[in-house]
DNA sequence: CTGTTAGCGCTTTCAA
DNA sequence: TTGAAAGCGCTAACAG
């Protein structure tokens, strides 16, 4: 079976190509009987319009790009699901790009996206990015950009985030109230907005409760999984071992569990652990992990909704439009 | 900044559009100095060729579609990662479609894909699908299809799977050797190849070891998460409670944990649990979950590799080409 | 080695 | 209400 196009439909119906085109788009300038004839034949011949011809002509692809650092991660997976749901509703297609937490990969993806392949971009920044020109160029090319979670404050674009500062504060406060005296913080790339804010919440909570504050208790985990694991293990093996740990991302919390196991430390007796996480199994971990859970699915939906609003020119947003969806502290263990 | 096209480059350089086009594609028929001039200006003006014009002309989109039932699931997330990795290497773009385990959504996606939007499709079937005409039509339109994990045996297309039968057998055998007398099996839609095979492994292992075989020990979990949970809880609450459970998918294993917790049953003392799963946290669950782990990332890479091999017409595959990547039994608890 | 020309399939003026 | 024709940006015969 071969591809059928407008021309063939037109010839079959003794109509012009333009009439068929208009009929299929249900234009008011075409008579009802003609429309019916066209619809019928189109269905019979299983006509599928060539999207690329249409995109070329209209300068619109009905396609968006989602650029994320990682997908094997419940947070981003749920966000994709939210984005895809809204995109389907709106008749858009979703291209996915993984940057593997690598700034240079993010740059090459962004450069590629300048081609007009997509009408808009939803992006969560990779850790290593320092230079953001590639993102500004997207905007200059009139390709709307919406950030979510890992946003870039120096770029004017809508942002969908959680209340990272407050969550960091609440998390730390929770550990303090659970009796922790020395609370460590595990963080990822400091080039990231979320890292800054979560850490500020942490330090502010310590200050607020007159807890000792030491730089050595903040562990920057910016390396490979293996390197990070070693750093965490060293922290837990030191004679200055913390009795509480606040992990800024899921993976680091999981690493703490593994390190504790390796060192024979018991959670929460020896060390209490709390982390940002969307693990569906958090409540089943041994012992349960108390989490700060982000509304990932809703964040994805919101980001997509904002993008389409802009694409459909329905609303003008202020350039620094920011939506904050609160994360929830989910206490999982009575001893924590 | 506006979009720059070949025509503008050509005018600027006093060359014809076709010469510029060829130069950019590094054609051998263009002189080195001309190429250099073109490259330089293209870079200076940040020229990005319009992919849709090129697609329209060449009838190739350099885009593939990935159609999966769900993404918030480690298996599919890892598979996407594998696919995206290979696609990027080959200069392809990846469209993603989630069918939400819904056969009719899968059908509408497949119908849409007939438009020529993509050069090929990698698909894992949704649970409910009975009718597969929509997939055959893709093939008839010369859009290559590669299945992975949840394949469709009645369609001739390359398939990337794990050794589901053997894994089901080994899993059940493992429970038998751990001393289980009444082993239940939790399965999803029986319209799925994986379900059949895993279950056959289960029943064959029971027969092999002369264990009682009862239909009531096979629970079909084809409903919503809530409905499935209730079925599982009922199973565990019955006076015929199994002392071993083999879950065919991750989510069902997790449900067992929740049900056990609700009923005050202890794992593995009261019931031993083993499931197909790629949970990174399986070893940390309380208690650890013994799993059959599929090589998800590798399966994604393999599926993509096969697809591109076909797209680049490098090899002709037999129509029933099948790659089997073995799943691994990962024992996590000494009592199991 | 470079230019001319004819489309790819669709949308959209402009005319009838 | 319909048709003719131009053209989106790029590629590839075919000529020179």
Q: Could you count the other beta carbons within 10 Å of the beta carbon of residue A223?
A: 12
Task: Tell me, yes or no, whether B168 and B282 share the same domain.
Answer: yes
Distance CA B122, CA B66 (A): 5
CATH number for the domain harbouring residue A31: 1.10.260.40
The residue ranges of DSSP E strands in B132-255, in sequence order, are 145-148, 159-161, 183-187, 218-220, 244-247
Q: In terms of residue numbers, what domain contains B36?
A: 1-59
**Distance CA B138 to C1' C9 in A:** 20
Residue B114 pairs in a beta bridge with none
Smallest Cβ distance to A72: which of B78, B97, B111?
Answer: B78
Residue B326 DSSP code:
P
Task: Tell me, yes or no, whether A147 and A177 share the same domain.
Answer: no
Task: Tell me, yes or no, whether B284 and B183 share the same domain.
Answer: yes
Q: Which of A121, A80, A146, A145 is nearest to B97 (CA)?
A: A80
* Number of domains into which chain A is organized: 3
Distance CA A110, CA A103 (A): 11
User: What pLDDT tens digit does each residue of chain A (336 aa) get?
Assistant: 468 999 999 999 999 999 999 999 988 888 898 999 999 999 999 999 999 999 999 999 999 999 999 998 899 999 999 999 999 999 999 999 999 999 999 999 999 999 999 999 999 999 766 788 899 999 999 999 999 999 998 899 999 999 999 999 999 999 999 999 999 999 998 989 999 999 999 999 999 999 877 777 999 999 899 999 999 999 999 998 999 999 999 999 999 999 999 999 999 999 999 999 999 899 999 889 999 999 999 999 999 999 999 998 776 777 779 999 999 999 998 777
Task: Tell me, yes or no, whether A174 and A283 share the same domain.
Answer: yes
CATH number for the domain harbouring residue B272: 3.40.50.2300
Q: What's residue A1's pLDDT?
A: 47
Closest-approach nucleotide to residue B38, Cα vs C1': C2
pTM value is 0.95
Q: Which of B63, B54, B120, B68 is nearest to B90 (CA)?
A: B63
Asked if A77's CB is within 8 angstroms of B77's CB, the reply is yes
Residue B188 · residue B225 · CB < 8 Å: no
The phi-psi region of residue B14 (left if phi > 0; otherwise alpha if psi is between -120 and 50; otherwise beta) is left
**Final residue of a domain: which of A59, A82, A106?**
A59
Asked if A49's CB is within 8 angstroms of B115's CB, the reply is yes
A-chain residues within 8 Å CB-CB of B50? 56, 115-116
A-chain residues within 8 Å CB-CB of B286? 284-288
Residue A285 DSSP code:
B
Alpha helices in B181-276, H assignment, sequence order = 193-208, 225-237, 250-263
Whether CB of B27 is under 7 Å from strand D: the answer is: no
Cα distance from B293 to chain A (closest Cα, Å)?
15
Asked if B56's CB is within 8 angstroms of A53's CB, the reply is yes
Q: How many CB pairs under 8 A join A and B?
A: 136
Task: Tell me, yes or no, whether A71 and A216 share the same domain.
Answer: no
Asked if B284's CB is within 8 angstroms of A279's CB, the reply is no
Task: Tell me, yes or no, whether A82 and A148 share the same domain.
Answer: yes
Question: Which of A49, A52, A69, A261 is the best substitution to test chain B (most B C-beta atoms within 10 A)?
Answer: A52
Q: At what angle are helices B296-311 and B74-89 packed, to 10 degrees?
A: 40
Cα distance from A32 to chain B (closest Cα, Å)?
26
Task: Tell me, yes or no, whether A266 and A300 share the same domain.
Answer: no
B-chain residues within 8 Å CB-CB of A81? 70-72, 98
Give the CB-side neighbour count of residue B170, counting CA atoms within 13 A: 17
Cα distance from A15 to chain B (closest Cα, Å)?
22
Q: Which residue's entry shows tokens 């004839």?
A: A37
Smallest Cβ distance to A77: which of B61, B72, B94?
Answer: B72
Instruction: Kindly identify which residue of chain B lies nearest to residue A87, measuring between CA atoms.
Output: B97
Closest-approach nucleotide to residue A54, Cα vs C1': C10
**Final residue of a domain: which of B10, B27, B59?**
B59
Task: Tell me, yes or no, whether B305 and B289 share the same domain.
Answer: no
Contact positions of strand C to protein Cβ (< 7 A): 1-5, 7-13
Distance CA B99, CA B107 (A): 9
**Distance CA B288 to C1' C12 in A:** 64
Q: Which of A294, A230, A239, A284 is nearest to A262 (CA)?
A: A230
**Final residue of a domain: which of B59, B80, B102?**
B59
Closest-approach nucleotide to residue B5, Cα vs C1': D9
Q: Which residue's entry shows tokens 């959670």?
A: A267
Task: Tell me, yes or no, whether A285 and A168 share the same domain.
Answer: yes
Residue A292 · residue A303 · CB < 8 Å: no
**Distance CA B44 to C1' C9 in A:** 32
Question: Which of B42, B52, B109 is the best substitution to test chain A (most A C-beta atoms within 10 A)?
Answer: B52
Distance CA A273, CA A253 (A): 7
Task: Tell me, yes or no, whether B179 and B256 share the same domain.
Answer: yes
Distance CA A257, CA A289 (A): 9
b/e burial code for range B151-168 (CB count within 10 A of at least 16 → b): bbeebebbbbbbbbbbbb
B-chain residues within 8 Å CB-CB of A112? 48
Q: What's residue B128's pLDDT?
A: 66
The model's pLDDT over B238-267, given as tens digits with 9 standing for 90+, comes to 998 999 999 999 999 999 999 999 999 999
B-chain residues within 8 Å CB-CB of A96? 80, 84, 94-96
b/e burial code for range B297-309 (CB count within 10 A of at least 16 → b): bbbbbbbbbbbbb
User: Could you tell me the mean pLDDT of each successive run of 10 residues in chain B, 336 residues long?
Assistant: 84 92 90 89 94 96 97 94 98 97 93 96 85 90 95 93 98 95 94 94 95 85 94 94 96 96 93 95 92 98 96 77 96 80
Task: Tell me, yes or no, whether A275 and A202 share the same domain.
Answer: yes
Task: Tell me, yes or no, whether A178 and A276 share the same domain.
Answer: yes
Asked if A93's CB is within 8 angstroms of B141's CB, the reply is no
Asked if B114's CB is within 8 angstroms of A48's CB, the reply is yes
């Amino acid at each position: 079976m071969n591809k059928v196009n407008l021309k063939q439909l037109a010839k079959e119906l003794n109509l012009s190509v333009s009439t068929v085109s208009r009929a299929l788009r249900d234009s008011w300038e075409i008579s009802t009987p003609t429309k019916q004839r066209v619809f019928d034949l189109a269905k019979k011949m299983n006509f599928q319009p060539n999207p690329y011809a249409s995109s070329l002509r209209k300068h619109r692809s009905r396609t968006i790009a989602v650029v994320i650092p990682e997908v094997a991660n419940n947070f981003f997976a749920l966000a994709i699901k939210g984005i895809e749901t809204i995109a389907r509703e709106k008749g858009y297609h979703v291209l996915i790009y993984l940057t593997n937490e690598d700034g240079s990969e993010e740059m090459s993806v962004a450069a590629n996206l300048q081609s007009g392949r997509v009408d808009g971009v939803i992006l969560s920044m990779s850790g290593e990015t320092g230079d953001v020109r590639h993102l500004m160029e997207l905007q200059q090319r009139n390709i709307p950009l919406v950030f979510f979670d890992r946003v870039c404050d120096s770029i004017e674009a809508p942002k969908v985030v959680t209340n990272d500062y407050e969550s960091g504060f609440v998390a730390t406060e929770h550990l303090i109230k659970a009796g922790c005296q020395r609370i460590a913080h595990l963080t990822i790339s400091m080039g990231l907005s979320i890292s800054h804010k979560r850490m500020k919440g942490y330090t502010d909570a310590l200050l607020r409760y007159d807890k000792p504050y030491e730089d050595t208790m903040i562990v920057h985990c910016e390396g490979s999984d293996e390197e990070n694991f070693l750093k965490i293990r060293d922290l837990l093996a030191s004679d200055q071992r913390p009795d509480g740990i606040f992990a800024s991302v899921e993976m680091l919390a999981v690493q703490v569990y593994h390190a504790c196991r390796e060192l024979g430390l018991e959670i929460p007796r020896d060390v209490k652990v709390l982390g940002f996480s969307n693990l569906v199994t958090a409540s089943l971990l041994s012992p349960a992990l108390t989490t700060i859970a982000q509304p990932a699915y809703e964040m994805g939906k919101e980001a997509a909704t904002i993008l389409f609003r802009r694409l459909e020119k329905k609303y003008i947003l202020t350039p620094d439009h920011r939506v904050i969806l609160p994360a929830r502290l989910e206490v999982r263990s009575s001893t924590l």
